[in-house]
Amino acid sequence: MDWTNFQLDQIEDTDLVVASDVVFDPVLVPSLACTLQEILRPKKTREGPKAEAFIACKVRNESTLELFEHHLRDGEQGLKLCQEEIRVPDGTVRLYTIS
Ligand SMILES: C[S@@+](CC[C@H](N)C(=O)[O-])C[C@H]1O[C@@H](n2cnc3c(N)ncnc32)[C@H](O)[C@@H]1O
C-alpha cells in the first residue's frame, strides 16, 4: 500500500495496525494520518471490538511527531490518541495507541 494513494478497498478488513519508524518525513505525515483514519474509521461505526493502531516512533524530530499527533487529533474521525514514552539505550521511543 502507498499512503499517498490509499484506497480502503486495497486491504482486507483490519483490526490491528502495527508499525514502527514510519513518522519521519513531514511531507508524508498527512497521507499517513489519512491512511490510518481510513483504516480505523469503519470499525468505529460498528458493534464489537474497535480497530486499533500501535505506532512506535524513535524520537528524532519532535516537530514531526507533533505534526503527526495534530493530524490524527484534528481529523474528522475524532480518533483517540494515547501516547507513552520509553527510554531506550540511545534515546526515547514514543508509543502511540490510536483507536
Ligand atoms: C524508516 S522505515 C521503517 C520501517 C520498518 N520499521 C522497518 O524497519 O522496516 C520507513 C518505512 O516507511 C515506508 N514508507 C515510506 N513512504 C511510504 C508511503 N508513501 N507509503 C507506504 N509506505 C511508505 C518505507 O517503505 C519504509 O518501510
- Can you give the C-alpha Rg of the chain in angstroms? 13
88 C-alpha vs ligand 1 centroid, how far in Å? 21
2 C-alpha vs ligand 1 centroid, how far in Å? 9
- Residue 56 beta carbon below 6 angstroms from any ligand 1 atom: no
39 within a domain of the structure (yes/no): yes
- 63-85 tens-digit pLDDT: 999 999 999 988 766 788 999 99
46 within a domain of the structure (yes/no): yes
36 C-alpha vs ligand 1 centroid, how far in Å? 14
35 within a domain of the structure (yes/no): yes
- 41-59 tens-digit pLDDT: 876 666 666 789 999 999 9
**Which pLDDT score is estimated for 78?**
73
6 within a domain of the structure (yes/no): no
Q: Model pTM?
A: 0.91
Mean pLDDT over the full length of the chain: 91
- Residue 34 beta carbon below 6 angstroms from any ligand 1 atom: no
Range of the domain at 53: 14-98
7 within a domain of the structure (yes/no): no
8 within a domain of the structure (yes/no): no
CATH classification of the domain holding 34? 3.40.50.150
- Domain tally, the chain: 1
Give the relative orientation of helices 62-73 and 29-44 as an angle to the nearest 10 degrees: 30
Coil vs helix vs strand at 79: coil
26 within a domain of the structure (yes/no): yes
48 C-alpha vs ligand 1 centroid, how far in Å? 30
3 within a domain of the structure (yes/no): no
Q: Do strands 52-58 and 81-88 pair parallel, antiparallel, or not at all (unpaired)?
A: unpaired
